[in-house]
Structure 1
Amino acid sequence: MASSRSSNSLVVPGSRQALERLKFEVAQELGIQLPADGYYGNMLTRDMGSIGGYITRRLVQMAEQQLAGSPMR
């Protein structure tokens, strides 16, 4: 039976806004226009996958820098 608890729950309070900013920043860098109304159903899967991949890459890079003790940019 399926659990009602989402596996995508955020651990750090306030991180949702930071992730949203990162999504828009990455989309702008890639030249992908995100819809103003927040409905992503008409977006190409390839574009959304690119955004997600770059976000993941950036988050891993940030974590590596933090673990290495170097300042984040």
Structure 2
Amino acid sequence: MAQTLVPEAKSGISKFKSEVASEMGVPFTDYNGNLSSKQCGSVGGEMVKRMVQQYETGIK
């Protein structure tokens, strides 16, 4: 099991994931077993893309 390095970040990441999924039209809920791997992967990929953009522009 992975150790959470910054427990306070968990709620922020969940909120970010929900925002990205909503913008992409992917219906994320507490249970996401009905979503395809493509849908989940698209949300994760978009999250990473946005985090890299924020890092590169210096926005935190």
Same fold (TM over 0.5): yes
Structure (1 or 2) with the greater helix fraction? 2
TM-score by length of 1: 0.69
Higher-Rg member (1/2):
1
Name the residue aligned to 1:69: none
Instruction: Give the aligned residue type for 1:60.
Output: V
Q: 1:11 aligns with which of 1, 5, 30?
A: 5
State TM-score, norm by structure 2. 0.82
Aligned to 1:42: 34
For each residue in 1:30-55, what CA deviation from the matched residue of structure 2 results, as whole angstroms up to 9, or x when unmatched?
011112xx112111111000000000
CA RMSD of aligned residues (A): 1.7
Question: Which stretches of structure 1, 4 residues or more, deviate above 2 A after TM superposition?
Answer: 9-13
Percent of residue pairs identical: 32
Higher RCO (CA 8 Å, separation ≥ 6 residues): 2
Task: Point out where structure 1 has 5 or more consecutive residues left out of the alignment.
Answer: 67-71
Where does residue 63 of structure 1 map in the other structure? 55
* Alpha-carbon offset, residue 10 of structure 1: 3.3
> Equivalent residue for 2:26?
32
CA distance in 2 between partners of 1:41 and 1:28 (Å): 17
